[in-house]
Amino acid sequence: MNVCVLHNNVAPGAGPDEQDVLVQAAEISETLKRLGHAVCRVAADLDCAQVLSTIRRTQPAVVFNLVESLAGSDALIHVYPALLEAVGIPFTGSSAAALFLTSDKLIAKRLMACAVIPTPAHIDLNDPLACVSAPGTCIIKSATEHASAGLEADCVVEIGSTADAAAARRKFAQRFRSGRFFVEAFIAGREFNLSILDGPGGPEVLAPAEIMFTNFGDRPAIVGYSAKWSESSPEYINTQRSFAFGDTDLTLLESLKAAALACWREFSLRGYARVDFRVDAHNRPWVLEINANPCLSIDAGFMAAAGQSGYAPEAVIERILHAAVLKQEAVS
Ligand SMILES: Nc1ncnc2c1ncn2[C@@H]1O[C@H](COP(=O)(O)OP(=O)(O)O)[C@@H](O)[C@H]1O
Ligand SMILES: [Mg+2]
């Protein structure tokens, strides 16, 4: 079938986090061709009418949606899915609503709290009346930016009072691409990624992955910007993915899977997703964020988990396409 691979336009000179979508678009296009599909690639920008007419000219049976941001803002991630829904063109992955609700971490955390999905306590730094009720070690995070943009070791801070929160508000005012950011309780324990793939029997949780931090010394163990994107940095070299677990982890892995599936259901996710967790000293999992459109490049966490579960990239892409077509059949 005709598949239009839609990705965000990347400005020349953009950082590796933004360039990454081009790697995904190239890899997925090749995989789709190997599967026998006819592929066109379209770059999306803020000229929505022009982009939509280019998409239409490709006469797509499905759009493979890889748009992660528009005009450098991750807060616009849902715009093309909303337009495609409005004009009735099927597309892969989650709906516009699910992308919006998950990619705004403050909204996602409120919804998780309502659904009794554990997520660390937080203070909204944009709320001038925000006050500190439980002092301790915290992390400063963007509400809408992803891929650890702006996140480094100095984002882990002690917040003991409302004055500390105000100082953090001033210090980090220019740090993140979008101005909205918040303080979240820092969970000092292990880190896990749970990937989920749609399938004939419903969502399937793929092999859980643990991020192993080594040689971090006194630095906070986090997957910040350097750990994700600066290949020669100590943070990158010393954060390795592992799929090896002993029997003592079985109960924890079950609770991680249950929480990941609860996120899938609560946010009506579709196609594929990845949920990031930390686990505290009492072995309790806490959801850090829900990625409704996680990176699909071969070396990223989702495809690694799929490979570990016995799925080649071709099988993953076919399943994601199938979920998009099924969804369209259900609404028409
Ligand atoms: N509350 C937290 N406690 C401990 N570490 C955190 C917390 N929130 C984020 N981190 C660290 O920061 C990384 C990035 O945060 P995350 O919320 O997953 O945002 P994103 O991946 O979208 O940038 C996580 O992988 C984790 O290492
Ligand atoms: Mg993350």
- Best mutation site among 20, 140, 141, 302 for ligand 1, i.e. most ligand atoms within 8 A of its Cβ? 141
CB count within 10 Å of CB 154 equals 12
The dihedrals phi and psi of 217, each to the nearest 5 degrees, come to 55, -125
Alpha helix segments (H runs only) across 222-274:
225-229, 234-237, 250-266
Q: What percent of the chain clears pLDDT 70, i.e. is strictly above it? A: 96
Question: Which pairing describes strands 239-242 and 209-213: parallel, antiparallel, or unpaired?
Answer: antiparallel
Q: For residue range 82-123, list pLDDT tens digits in order.
A: 999 999 999 999 999 999 999 999 999 999 999 999 999 998
pLDDT at 178: 78
User: Ligand 2 is a single-atom ion; what residues have CB below 5 A from it?
Assistant: 276
Lining residues, ligand 1, CB within 6 Å: 120, 139, 141, 146-148, 151, 184-187, 191, 222-223, 276, 278, 288-289
**pLDDT tens per residue, range 176-221:** 887 789 999 999 999 999 999 999 899 999 999 999 999 999 999 9
Q: What is the DSSP letter of 202?
A: S
pLDDT for residue 332: 62
> What mean pLDDT do residues 294-305 have?
97
Range of lowest pLDDT (168-172, 298-302, 311-315): 168-172
pLDDT of residue 99: 98
Position 132 scores a pLDDT of: 66
Please report how the helices 48-57 and 79-87 are oriented relative to each other, as an axis angle in degrees rounded to 10: 50
CA of 157 to the centre of ligand 1 (A): 14
Could you please report the per-residue DSSP string of 97-162?
A: HHHHHHHSHHHHHHHHHHTT-----EEETT-TT---SS-EEEEEEESS--TTTT--GGGEEEE-SH
Confidence at 326, pLDDT banded by 50, 70, 90: confident
The alpha carbon of 193 and the centre of ligand 2 are apart by a number of angstroms equal to 8
Q: What's the 119 CA to ligand 2 centre distance in angstroms?
A: 13
- Taking CA atoms only, the protein residue closest to ligand 1 atom 11 is 222
Q: pLDDT of 149-164, one tens digit each?
A: 899 999 999 998 888 8
Closest CA to 169 of 179, 154, 156: 179
- pLDDT of 312 > 70? The answer is yes
Q: Residue 165: name the closest of 209, 121, 223 by CA.
A: 121
Res 53: pLDDT = 98
- The CA distance from 253 to 251, in Å, is 5
**At what angle are helices 313-331 and 16-34 packed, to 10 degrees?**
90
Take atom 9 of ligand 1 and give the residue whose Cα is closest.
288
> For ligand 1, atom 1, which residue shows the shortest CA distance?
186
Q: How far apart (Å, rounded) are the C-alpha atoms in residues 36 and 8?
A: 24
* β-pair type (2-8, 62-65): parallel
Listed residue (58, 63, 70, 59) closest to 21, CA to CA: 70
Mean pLDDT along residues 68-78? 93
pLDDT one-digit tens code per residue, 232-271: 999 999 999 999 999 999 999 999 999 999 999 999 999 9
CA–CA gap between residue 202 and residue 92 (Å, rounded): 16
Output the average pLDDT for the chain: 94
Nearest ligand (C-alpha, residue 278): 1
- Quote the distance between the C-alpha of residue 57 and its chain's center: 30
Strand, coil or helix: 3 = strand
Pocket perturbation via mutation, ligand 1, pick of 137, 154, 222 by most ligand atoms within 8 A of CB: 222
- Phi and psi at 314, nearest 5°, equal -60, -45
The b/e string for 297-322 (b: 16+ C-beta within 10 A; e otherwise) is beebbbbbbbbebebebebbbbbbbb
